[in-house]
Structure 1
Amino acid sequence: MSDPILQQILTELQGMKSDLSEVKSELGTMKADIDSIKEDTKLIPLIQQVVSEVNAEVSATRDTLERIDKTLTLHDATLDILARRSIDQEAALKRIK
């Protein structure tokens, strides 16, 4: 074989070696990314549990607020009746005097 052909083969091999180094470098980066993703996904069950607990608390709080609202509505009606009675009684007292 002639020297130019050998030189061309050597150049091609060096290019392939360079490409292989780039692939290895990118593969290392990808492996680090995968490890990071694996670490992050370990938290998903904990996050789901916390969300479930928060939802339960929100539901319980909503129920409590609904009961409070109903109680306040009943109290408003009672106070309205008592206020009218008081006004009626004051008017009756004025008529008596």
Structure 2
Amino acid sequence: MGDVRSEMSDVRSEMSDIRSEMSDIKSEMSDIRSEMSDIKSEIASIKEDTKLIPLIQQAVSEVNAEVIATRDTIERIEETLRGHDVTLDLLSRRSIDQEAALKRIK
């Protein structure tokens, strides 16, 4: 009879241990579910962000086109300014020559 009680006590102890382990497993499963939910949210956010990539690429392409157009415009302006510098230099020299001629005439 003592053996049966001892075995019953052992079974109860093992059942208690199993219940404790089951509780730990349930807690871990709950943590895993929570982490999975967080991961799913992050994946959804990444998918939304990835949808923007083509729009960003298009915007970058448009900005590059504008930069190239602006660079071309600046180069044309610089070329025009160099031509104006030459013209101003010539006009300045003529003016000085004409002033000198006028002084000689006086």
| 2:87 paired with 1:60 | no
Give RMSD over aligned pairs. Answer: 0.8
Match of 1:16 among 25, 28, 33: 25
TM superposition outliers: structure 1 runs of 4+ over 4 Å: none
- Output the CA distance in 2 between the equivalents of 1:44 and 1:20: 36
1:94 CA drift (Å): 1.0
Q: Which runs of 5+ in 1 are unaligned?
A: none
Report the residue type matching 1:34 in the other structure: I
Give percent identity, aligned residues only. 64
In the superposition, the TM-score normalised over structure 1's length comes to: 0.97
Task: Work out the CA distance in 2 between the residues paired with 1:93 and 1:21.
Answer: 103
Letter in 2 for 1:75: H
Higher Cα Rg, which structure: 2
- Give unpaired runs (5+ residues) of structure 2: 1-7
TM-score, normalised relative to structure 2: 0.89
| DSSP-derived class of the 1:33 partner | helix
Aligned residues: 97
